[in-house]
Structure 1
């Protein structure tokens, strides 16, 4: 169905709907409404576009066995495990491993968690390099409007290779430390190249066929298996970050099984890895600029120039790395990796400012906590760096070190804080096995309206790339939040209300709707 069908005739004003749902204003931003087509008529901002969303079907014949979460799962959830309002339960499903060299052979065990008391399952997928999907879903459930959880129960899934779903834990500890701690300003990449080679070598030896099976294409098949075992004919789901990318793959593979999908901060589907890395650096710089403005407005401990405060800390640890009580060193690479992690959580910006300030004073303990999940087991969750490396399975691009070295120099001049770090990340796939097929650009043909949420200052999935996802999808509908952090859901009341109306009441917002900061 052509995109124009979802824009042609307004059926009401979005503003009263969202004011009722979340007491927030919706209207045009000070910037132009993002264009999502090549000249077709658009609905005005603040209006709802017509579109047919599938009905919400209650589960029938579900085969997922839910039970009380064990001690390990409860430790990963922390205080959320004791939140009776969430009614958290745990489960496990099995799907085919389907490795490229051994199709149909072997299987993979996937951890799932449900939270909420509604009747309809709403699957949640997170970034492969972020928190495991089960943990993310429980946290998201604790922040979403209670009314949403009266209709739905959230189902978080640890993607294959993450959390407790047969996790990829193949990179030696010292190699992880070398990768994470590498100086992002250095264009002499021999040390990082050697660490990347050792990481790839160990993962190939340790995981064999399993390694190549950790990709977005097969994760989409896991999602469909979860849908079947939940006993519903259509998938209703939320994708956060590159979890959104999995859902676009799902929409192309299983268009007739798509229900109501919300993509919260989606990677740019039109850029090659180098272009995506450069855009990521630009997005991270924008996020830190927004963080600095917020910091100054709150008279935070970083003083009148939070950017200079971070630059000074980087020079300080280059001269002498901080040593935390656990013996881990906090280097320039670790500082920036930690700051990037902290920028993703808008509600945690005050704590991030405190952590940077304390590190400048010689105590890197708090800032080190942001980096620790990349390096090793934290609260029972495996190191995230290993899962981050599996993103190499989604691309065939392998750039020569000399080219990347030039990018480090160039981008460090254009994007002084994060340019070098994002350029260096391109080196991590250099020794990784090249997949036979890359991911195709999504189309969404045949799918019902898909809601896409963008965030103006997103350090992980930049706004322009998310907007391109909406343009790329035949039925994409964009709502843009003019705030900061990774993703708008549960961070912007306005965007959250739009998603709630979309999911529960089948109300499709007008393409290009803008939400205030």
Structure 2
């Protein structure tokens, strides 16, 4: 995916954060209890079957689980720095699991998206998984290489990162040159502070890590639930290891057939459609600050975002809302219709009171920025590093300019924020990885692909395309708003997902919920 509008988090995470943090005081997390539990792993050598030559010890490792909060267990796995060089050294992968409460089927690996989302954090809320899953599986979240509590990508300090995420660069020759300089400096800092890991955080390497984790967890095949970017990770695994794929569910799908430029255009259209739905809903109520028709309401949002470049919106703090931050604040609330009231509240502040406090808060939720100026995750660092490791957008300035114009015509409200995505990997220190798998993943069991009809971050057509690309793809459609469907939609979706993962019952291809 491209920056700035990234499907970094499933909508359930965004809605949870906004509900619990915007309205309630934050509570501290319980300390970890380091109580050793029984080792899990295959000591008979069967775990190393299928391991690449030289990597047998990684596949055969045992995981030492410790209690890390009530109802959770944590472990650290060792993974090779490079899957091409067994002698290059190792990195760590952090895992957290919710142990099965009933008759265990196996392990279910989950990934919340991003790239850069923490699976360790994601499983911290067991309630987002149905009782059938929690009964039948050890639900295992992991931080992929470069992410969070695993060996991380590290770039700028908090102050530098804050400046990078809030500074506007006008679409002028001078502004674009300044943006290129900032991106170049970011990449250089990543290389200096991360080291050679920066060159091995591509999705294929992360998928190979998943196969190693499958073996270390004692499973003959991988059962997996991936959201957003997690669908790319899951589809990549299926392509690399079709004979070891178990039951895979891919929710909020990315389209593997698209170029980075096509992604930028279609994602801009997706956010435009979602924003239109929000404005119509807002104006149907009696507290909406957007006046006139839906088109006029969209124009008012456009003016708020665009005007913030020349005249940042003041807040009650020393910070102000730039155009970039205004965009983030609007975009994050579109991930789930349950978050729409918070966008209305933020727009009321801007239009009725002349303050950007709530809009700034929403932007900070998007960027994982805490009130004290620190960041609770390295999702931005990992997002850029993984995307640049996977591929590049068009870097010719004339072609970027033409695409930016096309995007603005297709998405007039927020489209300008999607332009010039080819700059985002300018002079990146490492080349992209070469694709080493068949995207059709021939030979797998059925793979369930879920698409939401008005998903802003991963448009519905992407799910349709992924289901067609996969040789065994089965499409399930959720008719609704927001990003992803499982855990935030209806019993039709949850039933299809859980019946497949637990019982192996394949939903009807084309099922509409």
Q: State the match for 1:112 in structure 2.
A: 95
Which aligned pairs between 1:19-38 and structure 2 lie closer than 5 A? none
Give the SS at the match of 2:223: strand
Distance in 2 (CA, whole Å) between partners of 1:195 and 1:373 is 23
| C-alpha deviation, 1:484, in angstroms | 1.5
- With the length of structure 2 as denominator, give the TM-score of the two structures: 0.79
Question: 1:318-357 to 2 correspondence within 5 Å?
Answer: 318-324=309-315, 327-357=318-348
CA distance in 2, matches of 1:174, 1:376: 14
The CA deviation at 1:502 is 0.9
Unpaired segments ≥5 residues, structure 1: 1-57, 70-80
Which structure has more RCO (C-alpha within 8 Å, separation ≥ 6)?
A: 1
Say whether residues 1:435 and 2:432 are aligned partners. Answer: yes
1:236-385 mapped onto 2 (5 Å cutoff) = 236-304=223-291, 305=294, 306-324=297-315, 327-360=318-351, 361-372=353-364, 378=370, 381-385=376-380
Task: Give yes or no for the alignment of 1:148 onto 2:133.
Answer: yes
SS across alignment from 1:271: coil
Q: 2:148 aligns with which of 138, 155, 163?
A: 163
Aligned residue for 2:53? none
Deviations 1:362-415 (A, max 9, x none): 333332233326656548732422111111100154512332233223322321
Q: Secondary structure at the match of 1:262?
A: strand
- Show CA shifts across 1:426-460 (max 9, x none): 31012213225146561111100000000112122
Query: For residues 259 and 167 of structure 1, do their structure 2 counterparts lie closer, same or farther at Cα, with a shift above 3 Å needed?
Result: same
1:316 CA displacement = 4.2
Partner residue, 2:496: 498
CA distance in 1, matches of 2:259, 2:438: 11
Residue 64 of structure 1: aligned partner: 63
**TM-score normalized by the length of structure 1:** 0.79
d(CA) in 1 for partners of 2:89 and 2:488?
40
Conserved in 2, the CA contact under 8 Å of 1:346 and 1:486? no
**Is residue 512 of structure 1 aligned with residue 513 of structure 2?**
no
Deviates more, 1:157-166 or 1:91-100: 91-100
Q: Distance in 1 between matches of 2:127 and 2:318?
A: 34
Contact kept in structure 2, 1:184 and 1:332, CA below 8 Å: no
Task: Tell me the alpha carbon deviations over residues 90-140 of structure 1, each in whole angstroms, 9 at most, x when there is no partner.
Answer: 22111111076x55411111111112533332110122345411122333x
- 1:482 is matched with 479
Instruction: Report the CA distance shift for 1:131/1:148 in structure 2 as closer, same or farther (over 3 A).
Output: same
8 Å Cα contact 1:300/1:350 also seen in 2: no
| Alpha-carbon distance between aligned partners in 2 of 1:444 and 1:214, rounded to the nearest angstrom | 22
Report the counterpart of residue 411 of structure 1 in structure 2.
407
* CA–CA separation in structure 1 for the residues paired with 2:148 and 2:282: 33
CA contact (8 A) 1:132 1:162 kept: yes
Shift of the alpha carbon at 1:241? 0.8
Please point out which of 112, 120, 123 is paired with 2:109.
Answer: 123
Q: Secondary structure at the match of 1:503?
A: helix
- Alpha carbons 1:374, 1:383 under 8 Å: kept: no
RMSD in angstroms over aligned alpha carbons?
Answer: 2.6
Equivalent-residue separation in structure 2 for 1:466 and 1:460 (angstroms): 12
1:445-502 CA distance string (max 9 Å, x none): 1100000000112122111112111100000000011111111111111212210111
Contact 1:177 1:375 in 2 (8 A): no
Change (3 A) 1:201 1:89: same
Do the aligned residues in 2 keep the contact of 1:393 with 1:434 (CA within 8 Å)? yes
Distance 1:396 1:185, change over 3 A: closer
Q: Equivalent residue for 1:45?
A: none
For the residues of structure 1 that align with 2:394 and 2:160, how far apart are their CA atoms? 20
Gaps of 5+ in 2: 1-39, 44-60
In structure 1, what is the Cα distance between the partners aligned to 2:116 and 2:281? 24
